């Protein structure tokens, strides 16, 4: 399922409710018919893999940054490499000075040792960390915000294969990526105002169709616009 809506609609708040970082003040959230408040939060989170917009940058090695996604498997190099491949960052890692043992960040390392990454590369490291988790539910809150169009396309192509057999919730402002979802929910002022497939929501002509066409028109304008030099 993809969740879309304007800034402030409540998308990230919903994710924090699902992961029990917040508890609802009214109503219930059910997992297979059971109120999630009945589960131990740590146990519940063992069944989830989540990446937020403000994911962590750890001043550790590449290997450790990815391995922290599943500490039980941090001593399994093959698992870490496979997660990096799924996130599309493996080839870049192999070109770093010490490959997976390269220290990321300059704060806790000598400048000659520490390496910093671009925003998109850090985002792929965070995705690899999530892919380490063999869980029932994946939640991705704007997982490709720092990626360019080609990297985003490649990632979602891999992601579509990876999520088979799992429940996945994708939150994004990029309407070009949500069409892959089985269902799309449109959130407005904390309420789901529409739910359906991409084609169904376009046919309804509501908020989703309006936002989608605005974004598509803006993309075409940028695609066919002229470059000015000075």
Kindly report the three-state secondary structure assignment for every residue of the chain.
CEEECCCCCCHHHHHHHHCCCCCCCCCCCEECCEEHHHCCHHHHHCCEEEECCCCCCCCCEHHHHHHHHHHHHCCCHHHHHHHHHHCCCHHHHHCCCCHHHCEECCCCCCCCCCECCCHHHHHHHHHHHHHCCCCCEEEEECCCCCCCHHHHHHHHHHHHHHCCCCEEEEECCCHHHHCCCCCEEEEECCEEEEEECHHHHHHHCCHHHHHHHHHHHHHHHHHHCCCCCC
pLDDT score of 108: 60
- What's the average model confidence in pLDDT over 80-92? 92
- 18-39 pLDDT, tens digit per residue, is 999 999 999 999 999 999 999 9
d(CA 180, CA 63): 31
Q: Which domains does the chain have, with CATH numbers?
A: 1-47+151-230 (3.40.50.300), 54-134 (3.40.50.300)
pLDDT band at 219 (very low <50, low <70, confident <90, very high): low
Q: Name the one residue in this structure whose structure tokens are 């750890």.
A: 58
- 116-149 pLDDT, tens digit per residue, is 898 888 888 998 998 898 888 989 887 776 667 7
pLDDT score of 223: 52
- 87-105 pLDDT, tens digit per residue, is 889 999 999 999 999 999 8
Q: How much is the mean pLDDT over the chain? A: 85
pLDDT score of 172: 79
Among 78-82, 179-183, 203-207, the range of highest mean pLDDT: 78-82
């Amino acid at each position: 399922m993809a969740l879309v809506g304007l800034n402030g609609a409540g998308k990230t708040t919903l994710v924090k409710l699902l992961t029990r970082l917040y508890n609802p003040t009214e109503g219930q959230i059910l997992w297979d018919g059971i109120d999630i408040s009945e589960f131990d939060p740590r146990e519940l989170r063992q069944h989830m893999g989540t990446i937020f917009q403000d994911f962590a940058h750890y001043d550790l090695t590449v290997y450790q940054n990815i391995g922290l996604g599943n500490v039980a498997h941090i001593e399994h190099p093959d698992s870490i490499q496979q997660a990096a491949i799924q996130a599309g960052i493996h080839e870049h890692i192999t070109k770093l000075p010490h490959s997976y043992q390269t220290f990321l960040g300059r704060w806790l390392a000598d400048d000659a040792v520490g390496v910093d990454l671009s925003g998109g590369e850090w985002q792929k490291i965070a995705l690899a960390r999530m892919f380490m988790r063999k869980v029932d539910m994946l939640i991705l809150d704007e997982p490709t915000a720092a990626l360019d169009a080609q990297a985003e396309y490649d990632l979602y192509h891999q992601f579509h294969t990876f999520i088979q057999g799992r429940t996945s919730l994708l939150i994004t402002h990029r309407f070009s990526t949500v069409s892959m979802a089985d269902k799309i929910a449109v959130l407005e002022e904390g309420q789901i105002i529409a739910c359906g497939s991409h084609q169904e929501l376009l046919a309804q002509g509501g908020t989703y169709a309006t936002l989608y066409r605005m974004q598509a028109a803006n993309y075409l304008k940028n695609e066919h616009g002229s470059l000015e030099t000075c």
